[in-house]
Amino acid sequence: MWNLLLYRVAPVICILVNGACIGRLYGFTPAAVFWWVLFWICGSAIHMALHETGHLLGGLCSGYKLVFCQVGPLRLASSGDGKLSLRVRRDRSGQCVMAPASLQRIRYIRYNAGGILVNLLVCAGALPLCRAVPGYGGFFFLQLFFAGLPKLYTNCIPCLSGGCPNDAYILRLLTENPACRRDYGTYLYVYARRFWGLPVRRQDYAYERTEEGKKAERIYYDALQELLEESEGEKDG
């Protein structure tokens, strides 16, 4: 049901409403269509960058350490000693990976909700500017508003897409299940150590997950086991 809403119904509604607003305010002239596409692309890029920045700021406020933050082809990565480097990559994804400073208390709300909050604030600020700013400036803010809606409806409604949880799903999962919080924090911690090339001993992070539950509730535990197995394989090799 949610997949149908997220990937079929919501985008169609968004495009139709957006088109209706453009037709009423600017008309469907070739120039309007050109600026529509251009401003939509720019707005989408801005929202992607702001979404990942929101995760970054939320993580820093919670004491997390940056592993890497990628926006499009640009990746800002941190080394184990805190040095930053900027690299250009072939993929165009958006992702912010951070690690908790301690496994004793896993803070997760600001880190995972930061991206949603920033997109929401930008959309809320762009909407009144659509009419307040004259000409194509208002057109830009209109597209900045509509470009942010996909980020909101694909992250605010808890959903698993291809086995990957969105922000709202992670928040719900970690809030409802303390065992998942342990899995989540340990997974990020081990992932960061592997990314930084630091040693990972299986016995330091392995533990039995005795709690029964849905497969989705073990998503980070299973991912952690894969990381630990990879570490063992590299050590043996």
Q: pLDDT tens, 137-166? A: 999 999 999 999 989 988 988 888 777 899
First to last CA, the chain: 46
DSSP-derived letter for residue 12 is H
The set of residues, in sequence order, having a beta carbon less than 8 Å from that of 220 and lying 6+ positions away, is 180, 183, 184, 186, 187
Nearest to 69 by CA among 35, 26, 99: 99
pTM listed for this prediction: 0.90
Quickly state the pLDDT bin for 10 (edges 50, 70, 90): confident
SS3 158: coil
Per-residue DSSP letters for 50-105?
A: HHHHHHHHHHHHTT-EEEEEEETTEEEEE-TTS-EEEEE-S---EEEEEE-S-SSS
pLDDT tens digits for 60-73?
999 999 999 999 99
> What is the signed CA dihedral for 73, 108, 119, 146, rounded to 10 degrees?
90
The set of residues, in sequence order, having a beta carbon less than 8 Å from that of 128 and lying 6+ positions away, is none
CB 144 within 8 A of CB 126: yes
Question: How big is the chain, counted in residues?
Answer: 237
DSSP-derived letter for residue 165 is E
Q: What is the pLDDT of residue 41?
A: 94
Amino acid at 141: F
pLDDT tens digits for 89-104?
888 789 999 999 888 8
> What is the signed CA dihedral for 219, 220, 222, 223, rounded to 10 degrees?
120
* Residue ranges of E strands in 5-54: none
